[in-house]
Structure 1
């Protein structure tokens, strides 16, 4: 998240909007390094990209660009400070000498520079995680690309990889579950195109129930309209039992499941499953694709909620984000099964060659084997 340019004096700082706690950690670290440049070695894992304030990032980069000063000279002359300021102003023109003095005053203890650096890395992790979550949410609603599902899964992989990297940077600790209230699921799109495709799936499944038995990758919760999901569950129950499937038998099964209590009349239900068009697999993939995008969007919103809560530590962000992605991972596995090519039919077993005759003593016609053995002696 970008922050305003550094204020010209303390009064400007008080007049601006409240800044996050990491902003003051950035100020404290920069003040420590301005006072004691040799401490740059203790924060070698930090880069200018970790800073949220662009002016702070420019200052930190300038400290690595300008050769370090001699300690005795630095205590007597501001030569290094002036060079750092001049270099940083190429990227942040609002910087001035008074702000550098304010940074020095903002540092409680230069010896705590490493602790300030850890806070800055944590702040950068929070901002970057939120950025990945926002990109994931955007991918789920972007209809300009050729394949929104593929783009969504690509962003999911990027976010998951970032979480894995964070897990190696921030060790776990007790009480790592975030307590942030989760946003509720967004209402599913129930426009006429969506509901029409679900109705076509139900009719096609009724006409071709043998294909439904191979569609274990589709579940009732994937439907935008719960009634359609319940009807699909009725269909699959009949198909897996090997019972006859037609509009009448579907009506009977739906009645036992209490679906007629929703206000749906028997005639309406039979009409709903009596006009097949296309294959069940085709319409089922479209239903599952929308469910995949809906789960990804919800996971992105939940991760953003975690990053918006400043009480969450980096490890809490990692744990909460992984849990938010768990349901998406399950739907993704079903999506991959739906797209997998059908398994080739099993090959018939090759005919076995006749067993070779077992070697033994010669057989004399008319005599048993034991006698033939005696004759050969």
Structure 2
């Protein structure tokens, strides 16, 4: 970045971050002692947070190395670097190159400055991967959103593997960043309708509920629906009869009728099955998967915004966040993968294919009680 203007127009700009001074110090060291380009390890112009700094570094890499003795007395190499970089960084001036040389405290520390730049670039790149994961999980225009989201999660995981090979681990590497609240679950009418239809069809076909161990109460957006799912699975596990009345009775014992729902309304919900439980269960699980992906992205982004985290802390914290997504992903693959003889579903009365349910039946009228 060229030297800041003295005009008042820059008064509102945020103060430079530490990496800005690391970039200045590295460039100053290289301008002063060009032979240190061979000592700084792998570094690319794109690693710089400042475009002008990156173009100046690119010019240094492309310009023929100067003779060490001649460089001490002649500005020829500096002029060559400046002329090479200026078309891509118009604000760059000769005075700024001299400023960089004056800023650099110790040219022999150039490799350390380069390592700082790589670390900050890793932080920014990780944040970009997390933001892409969040955007993919929230993009309702994607035809196969869950698949695209998991592909983006795989890309993020590969990036973490690459980072782990570039930064040495160290003890005490768990991040202490306070994570933000998880993104709100989708409680729109479509999402809640899918959960209601799952509860109703599972009540009508309880035998299939025992095959849906890949679905857990935490996958539901509405706590009441999660509790009703627990009622159904508990009855099925105990081998008891399952129908709207027995589920109503179980719900009463679990305290759900006190405030959450009236008995007549619950009977209406339980008496309107449509399609198959597996179809609606997959819908519910898919929304839970997408929400977990968004939560993972939010948590990783929070880690990257905490400057106290080292690269290895970012790697460790991000992998932990991805592990929670992987747990949901495993259940998703179990639900959507091909059925094996062990998990083959029992025959039942014809219902809608899993590719999609038939049109919903109208809810049964609720008869008023006296």
Q: TM-score scaled to structure 2, two decimals?
A: 0.89
Say which SS state the counterpart of residue 187 (structure 2) adopts: coil
Contact 1:8 1:99 in 2 (8 A): no
| Mapping 1:157-306, distance limit 5 Å | 157-306=154-303
Say which SS state the counterpart of residue 258 (structure 2) adopts: helix
Partner of 2:3 in structure 1? 7
Using the TM superposition, give the Cα deviation of residue 259 of structure 1 relative to its aligned residue in structure 2, in angstroms: 1.4
Q: Following superposition, which runs of at least 4 residues in structure 1 exceed 3 angstroms of deviation?
A: 8-16
Using the TM superposition, give the Cα deviation of residue 186 of structure 1 relative to its aligned residue in structure 2, in angstroms: 2.1
Question: Runs of 5+ in structure 1 lacking a partner?
Answer: 347-377
Distance of 1:251 and 1:26 partners within structure 2? 67
Query: Alignment partner for residue 153 of structure 1, among 150, 155, 166?
Result: 150
Distance of 1:8 and 1:232 partners within structure 2? 62
Partner of 2:60 in structure 1? 63
Question: Runs of 5+ in structure 2 lacking a partner?
Answer: 344-370
> For 1:228-266, what per-residue CA distance to the aligned partner results, in whole angstroms no more than 9, with x for missing partners?
011011111212322111001111221222212234222
Partner of 2:355 in structure 1? none
Using the TM superposition, give the Cα deviation of residue 345 of structure 1 relative to its aligned residue in structure 2, in angstroms: 6.5
Partner of 1:111 in structure 2? 108
Distance of 1:269 and 1:96 partners within structure 2? 75
- For structure 1, which segment, 239-248 or 292-301, has the greater mean C-alpha deviation from structure 2 after superposition? 239-248
> For 1:258-315, what per-residue CA distance to the aligned partner results, in whole angstroms no more than 9, with x for missing partners?
2122342222222111100010000010100000010110111111111111111111
Using the TM superposition, give the Cα deviation of residue 12 of structure 1 relative to its aligned residue in structure 2, in angstroms: 8.7
What's the RMSD between the two structures over aligned residues? 1.7
Partner of 2:78 in structure 1? 81
Using the TM superposition, give the Cα deviation of residue 14 of structure 1 relative to its aligned residue in structure 2, in angstroms: 8.0
> For 1:64-120, what per-residue CA distance to the aligned partner results, in whole angstroms no more than 9, with x for missing partners?
101100011111111111111111112111111011011111110001001101100
Partner of 1:144 in structure 2? 141
Contact 2:202 2:277 in 1 (8 A): yes
Q: 1:321 to 1:98 in 2, by over 3 A?
A: same
Q: 1:9 to 1:42 in 2, by over 3 A?
A: farther
Using the TM superposition, give the Cα deviation of residue 8 of structure 1 relative to its aligned residue in structure 2, in angstroms: 5.5
- For structure 1, which segment, 43-52 or 227-236, has the greater mean C-alpha deviation from structure 2 after superposition? 43-52
Distance of 2:166 and 2:191 partners within structure 1? 44
- For structure 1, which segment, 261-270 or 176-185, has the greater mean C-alpha deviation from structure 2 after superposition? 261-270
Partner of 1:362 in structure 2? none
Using the TM superposition, give the Cα deviation of residue 207 of structure 1 relative to its aligned residue in structure 2, in angstroms: 0.5
Say which SS state the counterpart of residue 324 (structure 1) adopts: helix
Say which SS state the counterpart of residue 323 (structure 2) adopts: helix
Q: 1:188 to 1:9 in 2, by over 3 A?
A: closer
Query: Alignment partner for residue 128 of structure 2, among 114, 128, 131?
Result: 131
Using the TM superposition, give the Cα deviation of residue 340 of structure 1 relative to its aligned residue in structure 2, in angstroms: 0.6
Bigger-Rg structure (1/2): 1
Distance of 2:7 and 2:110 partners within structure 1? 26
Using the TM superposition, give the Cα deviation of residue 319 of structure 1 relative to its aligned residue in structure 2, in angstroms: 1.2
Using the TM superposition, give the Cα deviation of residue 185 of structure 1 relative to its aligned residue in structure 2, in angstroms: 1.4
Q: 1:278 to 1:248 in 2, by over 3 A?
A: same
Q: 1:36 to 1:271 in 2, by over 3 A?
A: same
> For 1:137-191, what per-residue CA distance to the aligned partner results, in whole angstroms no more than 9, with x for missing partners?
1001111111111111111111111111111111221221111111011221211
Distance of 1:17 and 1:120 partners within structure 2? 19
Contact 1:222 1:288 in 2 (8 A): yes
Q: TM-score scaled to structure 1, two decimals?
A: 0.87
